[in-house]
Structure 1
């Protein structure tokens, strides 16, 4: 069913937030075209609210290629928090937890709504639908490395690759991460998001957690002191990566 994209007003956002905090019964999707809870936006965009997506990457690809294509003012679209709340509600069935303990339950509030004030600005990257659209728009198929999980609409890879502004839009970072951590069948390589334990830090011979995505941003920060990394090709980046990444390069 095609619906014209709207923006949830304050009353609509409050009702949606209440449901997210205490999800009894079905999501309040009846608000999607109720003028008491939503308002029209400046331009016409249409979505098929019956679409269901196996991964957040698929949702982002749909929004970029079929809904918000040829957008002349992406900054204005990005900042329309009421519209992204509407989008979150429209596709809520694809954005719920898939874990065994919280199956079909919402994740934390910032994954669907932008909170007010400084907290909202700090956690804005977690608004799943908006970030999915932005990443596919910026990085195309490379965005799948962060958004391709079928186990959760927002996995650890998404958190690690979007929480730092210096790498969010960094083309070389995404190309390297895609090469290192994506398996031959599109799966995430085992250990890609592992954290280096405190015990391993005391033992130079212990390689646990080395070369993973948690360490890659700091490697890029160090490189930026010497190289113009945004202008480097993927092969150039792979050649200068430290030794700890070589096993990942060899497997790619």
Structure 2
């Protein structure tokens, strides 16, 4: 069902938040077009709330390509927090838990309602749209999980601004950690523990996402990383990334 995109007002956001905290009934979709709880925005965009997506990347691509268009003003649109909460509600069936314990249940409210500067990156719809706007297909590495609308890779790659905005980091991550089938390779988010660091034979966590962030910080002391091609960056990666270069 096509709808004109609106924004939830404070009363509408309060109703939505209440449902997120106690989802005993169906989502409050009735407030989407109710002028008591939502309002018009300056531009006219249309969205199909009946669309279903396998991954959050697919949702982000839809928002980027078909709802807002590639020429959209990123700064202007990302600031419309009431609109993004409205979009979270209209697309809610794409944003619920998929594991056995959380199936059909909402995640933390910050994934649907803007939580301010510190946790705003967790607003799934906005971040998915913005990642596609910034990084195109390379955004797949963070938001292509079929098990959850928001997984560990998304959390690690979007919570740090220096990574969030770094096109080269995303391009290399996409090459290293996304398999040919489109799934995240096992061990991508494994953290190298203190015990592993003390054990010279342990390979746990080596070449993983956390280590890549450290490697990029080291590269930027020597190279103009943002001006290098992806293949050039892949060539200077330390040996610990060898196994991750395999398809």
Question: What TM-score bracket applies, with the shorter chain setting the length?
Answer: over 0.9
Partner in structure 2 of residue 122 of structure 1: 118
Q: CA deviation at 1:35?
A: 0.2
Q: Runs of 5+ in structure 2 lacking a partner?
A: none
Partner in structure 2 of residue 55 of structure 1: 55
Q: CA RMSD in A?
A: 1.0
Distance (Å, rounded) in 2 between the aligned partners of 1:72 and 1:145: 23
Q: CA deviation at 1:204?
A: 2.4
Distance (Å, rounded) in 2 between the aligned partners of 1:201 and 1:147: 29
Query: Structure 1: which 4+ aligned runs deviate by more than 3 Å?
Result: none
Partner in structure 2 of residue 189 of structure 1: 185
Partner in structure 1 of residue 170 of structure 2: 174
* Corresponding pairs, count: 247
Distance (Å, rounded) in 1 between the aligned partners of 2:103 and 2:211: 31
Partner in structure 1 of residue 87 of structure 2: 87
Partner in structure 2 of residue 2 of structure 1: 2
Partner in structure 2 of residue 99 of structure 1: 99
Q: Which of 217, 228, 244 pairs up with 2:240?
A: 244
- SS state of the match for residue 234, structure 2? helix
Distance (Å, rounded) in 2 between the aligned partners of 1:177 and 1:70: 23
Partner in structure 1 of residue 112 of structure 2: 112
Distance (Å, rounded) in 2 between the aligned partners of 1:141 and 1:91: 21
Q: If the length of structure 2 is used for normalisation, what is the TM-score?
A: 0.97
Q: CA deviation at 1:70?
A: 4.2
Q: Runs of 5+ in structure 1 lacking a partner?
A: none
